[in-house]
Amino acid sequence: MFDPVAHGLIVPSKPPRSAGGAKSVATLLEPMVRAAPDKAILIGRNGRLTAAQLDQQANQVANMLTSLGVKAGDRVAASLPNDVGIVVAFLGAMRIGAIWLGINRPLAAPEKAYMLRDSQTTVFIGDTAMSDQVKSQQSELPDLRHIIVSDPGVNDELSSMIAAASADRVTTEIDPLAPAAIAYTSGTTGFPKGAVHSQHNLLLPGAVGTFRSKMTEPVENPVLGVPLPLTILNLMVLGPLSAYQSDTVMVAMDRVDGLGMGEWIHKEKITTFAAVPAMVYDLLTHPEVSDEMLKSVAAIGVGGADMPDAFRRLYEERFGKRVSTGYGLTEAPTSVTSEDVTKPPVAGTCGSALPQVSIHILDDEGNELPVGEVGEVCVGPSTEGDFADTYRPMLGYWNKPEESARALRGGLLHTGDIGCMDEDGNVFIKDRKNDLIIRGGANVYPAEVERVIHDVQGVAACAVIGVPNERLGEIVVAFVEPAPGATVDPAAIQQHCAANLARYKVPEQIHVIEAFDRTPMGKIRKTTLREKLRNS
């Protein structure tokens, strides 16, 4: 029997209250199958599955995995493009209580091998390229017993195995509070850590989103597009798990360029999707993407990366309303705050707590700080409202008991982010605790400097880091990526910073680079910037 504690996880002493709706991912599709079995609810480049077909194929995957010896608590990994296959595989794994691991495709072979080895994965599913990568590392993966290729039109072992498997419903009893998925952190510092979540927590954001959507004017025939990688657990949560709780069709979009996204939106009449600012900017400014192609879109969720003012203006001109900011993290999972765009804007905020959570600002001793004071942002369950006591933080980091205990001390998720709150509950994220620059004894929050640099014309993106200095401890160094066709003057940027920031916050060095190295969610990898300086 699988023992979470043996893998460094923390089982909550008090189980959360049910949020209503689906009790587990295993039963997620039941209402849609009963109400409209012939309605196509999952669409991708290589298939259109009705509710009944998706339900059947999830059963077949569950039986296929069982025939391979997979049981509750065993790890099943996938590195697949956005298409029907990755969703079917995920839902099937959930029906036998397996623990899912999505592995991002751009990762190098050794990076993939690290995650597979650390998680002790037994089954890997990937297209030809990803499977070949893993096979090249197989000698270092003693627990990996099966590599299944899923490459429609080339070598689709997965489809053949699904077709040959029984469609009977698996009778495995699912514990919705048991470990269900591992989401490795982006690896912006050191080796990534595997945040572990239960099926209950994977379903909760969708339950909250469905509840909140009932308070707004409903969208006729809602269709959710997912252009960001479904290998990212947060996208599984915000994609199929959220869509199927609100009777919404989901489209797995396999192109992220402006024209490719526009074609998907036009063809499938997509009403909403989530993306990073650069993707939305390309979509809204692409010369071949017409207003006619985008007329079905009611709103776009934007997050995961910096949001320059120029993008905000573009969004507002196109949709007639402000783009909503929010705050979330892998360990939550997904969002924990959101801005209410129907209220007057509050500069610098990422919104207030979502209904299922409460936000706490703590000092280094764990004491709650008063309004306006800066400390560590921590997340716990809400104590009032429809979703009171339904939330629990992650179960911990896979095979890292000390780090699990540190992150979850006091029953709260300690995010490692620095911020404060105002009297209305608006949250202001200052920076990562680990990214804080201490220059000559004074605290410098990189995000504060980055916001000022973003105001300079021609700056597409920027990142600020601290660099060791014998005299001051650290100095402030900025990297800037120019917008296409633009040139930027480091001296002009320094002058702008000097006019808008305290002297000790002004970057001593400004480096102009062609393009940032980013994570799949669009976040800049600051470790590569430090490596650039060390190697220069």
Q: Residue 419, SS3?
A: strand
Q: What is the pLDDT of residues 265-294, one digit of tens each?
A: 999 999 999 988 878 888 998 999 999 999
Do 349 and 379 lie in a common domain? yes
**Total residues belonging to the chain:** 536
Q: How far apart are CA 499 and CA 293, in angstroms?
A: 43
Give helix then strand counts, H and E, for the chain: 16, 26
How many other C-beta atoms are found inside a 10 Å radius of the C-beta of residue 71? 14
Whether 309 is covered by a domain: the verdict is no
Q: How far apart are CA 182 and CA 62, in angstroms?
A: 18
Whether 132 is covered by a domain: the verdict is yes
Please give the tally of structural domains in the chain: 3
Whether 355 is covered by a domain: the verdict is yes
Judged by phi (left if over 0) then psi (alpha if -120 to 50, else beta), residue 83 lies in: beta
Last residue of a domain, one of 231, 254, 277: 254
Do 56 and 138 lie in a common domain? yes
Q: How far apart are CA 140 and CA 138, in angstroms?
A: 5
Do 50 and 180 lie in a common domain? yes
Q: How far apart are CA 140 and CA 414, in angstroms?
A: 33
Tokens (6 digits) for 498: 């000097």
- One DSSP character per residue, 87-132 reads HHHHHHHHTTTPEEEE--TTS-HHHHHHHHHHHT-SEEEE-HHHHH
How many other C-beta atoms are found inside a 10 Å radius of the C-beta of residue 423? 8
Last residue of a domain, one of 254, 285, 313: 254
Do 54 and 163 lie in a common domain? yes
* Main-chain phi, psi angles of 522, to 5 degrees: 90, 5
Last residue of a domain, one of 196, 227, 254: 254
Do 67 and 167 lie in a common domain? yes
Eight-class DSSP state of 432: E
Beta strand 75-79 pairing with 155-156: unpaired
CA nearest to 47, candidates 202, 209, 196, 162 = 162
Whether 317 is covered by a domain: the verdict is no
Do 416 and 456 lie in a common domain? no
Whether 283 is covered by a domain: the verdict is no
Whether 1 is covered by a domain: the verdict is no
> How far, in Å, are 49, 117, 325, 355, 515 from residue 418 at the CA level?
44, 32, 17, 22, 27
The predicted pLDDT at position 305 comes to: 56
Question: CB-based contacts of 456: which residues, under 8 Å, 6+ apart?
Answer: 488, 492, 493, 496
CATH code, domain carrying 161: 3.40.50.12780
CA gyration radius, the chain? 23
CATH code, domain carrying 379: 2.30.38.10
How many other C-beta atoms are found inside a 10 Å radius of the C-beta of residue 366? 14
CA nearest to 464, candidates 493, 441, 425, 484 = 493
Whether the bond between 142 and the residue before it is cis, its omega within 30 degrees of 0, is no
Q: How far apart are CA 311 and CA 285, in angstroms?
A: 11
Tokens (6 digits) for 14: 């008090």
The parent domain of residue 109 ranges over: 37-254
The predicted pLDDT at position 445 comes to: 76
The predicted pLDDT at position 187 comes to: 47
The predicted pLDDT at position 320 comes to: 84
The answer to whether 507 touches 497, Cβ cutoff 8 Å, is yes
Do 238 and 355 lie in a common domain? no
Tokens (6 digits) for 379: 């997340």
Whether 31 is covered by a domain: the verdict is no
The answer to whether 493 touches 453, Cβ cutoff 8 Å, is yes
Do 460 and 475 lie in a common domain? yes
Q: How far apart are CA 203 and CA 238, in angstroms?
A: 9
Do 441 and 357 lie in a common domain? no
Query: Which regions of the chain are under pLDDT 50?
Result: 187-189
> How far, in Å, are 3, 148, 453, 461, 497 from residue 491 at the CA level?
58, 54, 12, 17, 10
The predicted pLDDT at position 188 comes to: 43
Q: What is the pLDDT of residues 366-409, one digit of tens each?
A: 999 999 999 999 999 999 999 999 999 999 999 999 999 999 99
Do 458 and 442 lie in a common domain? yes
Beta strand 146-151 pairing with 352-353: unpaired
CATH code, domain carrying 453: 3.30.300.30
Provide the angle, in degrees to the nearest 10, between the axes of the packed helices 128-136 and 109-119: 70
Do 115 and 241 lie in a common domain? yes
Beta strand 459-469 pairing with 155-156: unpaired
- The pTM (predicted TM-score) of the whole model is 0.85
Judged by phi (left if over 0) then psi (alpha if -120 to 50, else beta), residue 275 lies in: beta
Do 410 and 478 lie in a common domain? no
> How far, in Å, are 283, 304, 311, 482, 486 from residue 458 at the CA level?
19, 21, 13, 6, 5
Whether 174 is covered by a domain: the verdict is yes
Provide the angle, in degrees to the nearest 10, between the axes of the packed helices 157-164 and 84-94: 50
In degrees, to the nearest 5, what angle opens at C-alpha 174 toward C-alphas 172 and 175? 145
